[in-house]
Amino acid sequence: MSIPRKLYYFIAVSVVSSLAVSYTSSIMPYFILSLNMEMKVYGLIQTLARLIALLVRIPFSAIIPSYGYFKSYAMGYSMGILSQMAYIAVCITPYALFFYTIGSVFVMLRFATTFTARSSIVARFTDSSNRGFVFGLISSLNMVTSSIGPFIGSLLYEATGGSFVAVFMFSLTTMMLAIVMLIPLIKNDIKVKKSGVLREEFKLQLTSIPAVFRNPKLRKILFIFMLDGFCWSIAGAYTSIYFAEYLHLTPMDLSYLNLMTNIVNILTFTLIGWISDKLRKRGVFLAVSEVFGILYFLLILEARDITLLYFASAIMGFVASFWSPIASAYITEAAEEESRDLVPLAIGIRGFLGTLARMLGTLIGGLIYDINPWMVFRVPSLMLIIIILIILLFLRD
């Protein structure tokens, strides 16, 4: 199995990028609670941010082959820099809610664009025989850094007397380093088409959208991704807030829970990706992921302190490792059955439909949380049973 040197370097950049983003993860629930807003307002802000990201996903994915793969990743990641600037403005200006909304929009834009660009880059440099392995390798390495980052962020937060600004500034600085590291790749970027025909290629990509939905595999997996995104988003944005507000966990506690999840991910991501490459039964792996998801929600519902949450966090590691590399490998392989140039568009449509579903899920989750916080875990645990049945009955490799 041969991996190009350029891809190795990009993986290193991706690791630094992941580290920069992870600094703030353990303090964000407290940052949100410090704004004293109702969860329905928080849900509305997240829905607005997802809506804007939704509108960007397909156009962004359509221009990647002509604009440049690495340049597209850099453009997307720069949204992260703008998000940290907005969050700093929350702390030092009287317009906290406005700048928090702006920061949330940039966070969603960063996630939407970098996910599409990174998956497209990996698909460009690998073939289907080792793609699950490479996606798993990248995820495992990113998990190493995202295990370290929350501890650094928590220690910095405590050392500065609870300063959110200090953590955001540190994250901002590391993000800028990641952008600088991308410069050599940008100078020797991959372009399928010449930049002079960018507009024509953009139109061509958009007219290729029906080809994505004509493919039975893509049609089914996109529907499953929508259901999954809706289900997990009901709880996703509120889980750490619930831990902080009702179980009284500290930023360091959240860092340890994140570490537990990432240890499992590091040990299993690459292995499970490799096994799925060999067995070619990717649908079964996705179903197993959702089974672990049910166990995860049930453990949270039973938890009265941090003890059970350690087990829940370990289970969450299996949820991710049985889903993330396998889902990425499945959709890129299905898209390549039409054309390799269709891969970015298929990934973009996946993100578009998934964001649409998560918008609704996040909004509903906020309304449920204000009424009964425990219901944001009960509802998705029941939905996952339905999703498992759909995967097993309809998804074929």
pLDDT of residue 278: 82
As a three-state string, the secondary structure of 200-264 is HHHHHHHHCHHHHHHCHHHHHHHHHHHHHHHHHHHHHCCHHHHHHHHCCCCHHHHHHHHHHHHHH
Answer yes or no: is pLDDT of 161 > 90.
yes
Averaged pLDDT, 216-235: 94
Give the pLDDT confidence of 60-98 residue by residue, as tens digits: 887 887 788 899 999 999 999 999 999 999 999 999 999
> 190: phi > 0 → left, psi -120 to 50 → alpha, else beta; which?
beta
Answer yes or no: is pLDDT of 1 > 80.
no
pLDDT of residue 212: 81
Check residues 107 and 141 and name the one with the higher pLDDT: 107
Answer yes or no: is pLDDT of 262 > 70.
yes
Helices (H) and strands (E) in the chain, counts: 17, 0
pLDDT of residue 192: 61
Q: What is the mean pLDDT of the chain?
A: 88
pLDDT of residue 198: 55
pLDDT of residue 30: 94
Report which DSSP code applies to 328: H
Determine the distance from the C-alpha atom of residue 153 to the mean position of all C-alpha atoms in its chain, rounded to a whole number: 20
pLDDT of residue 375: 96
Nearest to 131 by CA among 266, 277, 279: 277
Tokens (6 digits) for 265: 């991910």
Check residues 197 and 392 and name the one with the higher pLDDT: 392
Averaged pLDDT, 146-160: 92
Strand, coil or helix: 143: helix
Task: Please indicate, yes or no, whether the overall pTM of this predicted structure exceeds 0.75.
Answer: yes
Answer yes or no: is pLDDT of 370 > 70.
yes
Give the pLDDT confidence of 297-337 residue by residue, as tens digits: 999 999 999 999 999 999 999 999 899 888 888 888 888 88
Averaged pLDDT, 367-391: 96
Answer yes or no: is pLDDT of 264 > 60.
yes
Residue type, 204: L
What CA–CA distance (Å, rounded) separates 283 from 224?
11
Confidence of residue 120 (pLDDT cuts 50, 70, 90): confident
- Calculate what percentage of the chain has a pLDDT beyond 70: 94
Among all chains, which residue has been given the structure tokens 């507009």?
A: 199
pLDDT of residue 134: 79
Averaged pLDDT, 147-162: 93
Tokens (6 digits) for 76: 């997307």
- For 5-394, which CATH superfamily applies? MFS general substrate transporter like domains (1.20.1250.20)
Confidence of residue 274 (pLDDT cuts 50, 70, 90): confident
pLDDT of residue 196: 52
Helix H or strand E encompassing 255: helix 251-279
Nearest to 150 by CA among 61, 249, 243, 252: 252
**CA max distance for the chain:** 60
Answer yes or no: is pLDDT of 145 > 60.
yes
Strand, coil or helix: 285: helix
**Other C-beta atoms within 10 Å of 386: how many?**
12
pLDDT of residue 204: 65
pLDDT of residue 298: 97
Confidence of residue 137 (pLDDT cuts 50, 70, 90): confident
What CA–CA distance (Å, rounded) separates 262 from 250?
19
pLDDT of residue 201: 59
Answer yes or no: is pLDDT of 171 > 90.
yes
Answer yes or no: is pLDDT of 202 > 70.
no
Answer yes or no: is pLDDT of 191 > 70.
no
pLDDT of residue 286: 94
What CA–CA distance (Å, rounded) separates 178 from 84?
14
Averaged pLDDT, 169-191: 91
What CA–CA distance (Å, rounded) separates 193 from 20?
32
Give the pLDDT confidence of 45-63 residue by residue, as tens digits: 999 998 998 888 778 887 8
pLDDT of residue 81: 95
